[in-house]
Amino acid sequence: MLGAFALALGQLGDRRVLAILAKSIAITLAIFALFGWLGWLALGWALEGYSAQGLETLRAFLAAVLTLIAGWLLFRLVALAVLQLFGDEVVRAVEARHYPAAAAAARPLGWREELRVGGRSLLRALGYNVAALPVALLLLATAIGPALLFAAVNAVLLGRELSEMVALRHRDAAGEAPLPGFASRVALGAIVVALLSVPFVNLLAPMLGAAAATHLVHRRGIA
């Protein structure tokens, strides 16, 4: 597992990876800038009719706070959505460098299948997190319980999504996808979840996860 992430880090200087990284970071930041702008508009509507010195400053401060809260609560879902846009590009870049034979034999998914897989992944992410919410409410008294629960849920979720994203390109004639074992997938997801919780590093986490998942799947025997 650590070897897979070491290889992923080692490819950060690849021009193809840097281009993908720049696009994904730009879109992620644009999404949260949109959240901030919508918060600004909503606060303007809520405070309409009030005139007080410093009100615009308060409005800007509240909009910034709302954006930070949205970022904290929604970053994993946004990161997963952005990953669906560029994940296949990351996988192809890693395969081209490390597994050229497998890259040549890979099966293109096509935009319809990518859209279907992406939509299913997002619905699964929402479903897992919503299902965990009642348990998280019961754990509120423990303070750290809800955070640990959602970290565990998202580790399982992300490990599966990242591995499937790679494996679907290499399905056999029977349609079977060569996934790593459950423990490896959870470990992969746990590392990505941990990276997502670190400011600035979280912008790299989806790409590093996709690259590491590519190495894990190929180490299972594709190549």
Please state which of the ranges 37-46, 158-167, 168-177, 179-188 shows the lowest mean pLDDT: 168-177
Q: Please report the DSSP string for 10-69 in residue order.
A: HTTT-HHHHHHHHHHHHHHHHHHHHHHHHHHHHHHHHTTT---TTHHHHHHHHHHHHHHH
**Tens of pLDDT along 206-223?**
888 889 999 988 887 544
Domain coordinates in residue numbering, the chain: 2-219
Q: Which two tokens stand for residue 181?
A: 């074992």
**Tens of pLDDT along 85-103?**
777 888 888 988 888 888 8
Would you say residue 173 has pLDDT above 60?
no
Confidence bin at 187 (pLDDT 50/70/90) = very high
Would you say residue 155 has pLDDT above 50?
yes
pTM (predicted TM-score): 0.75
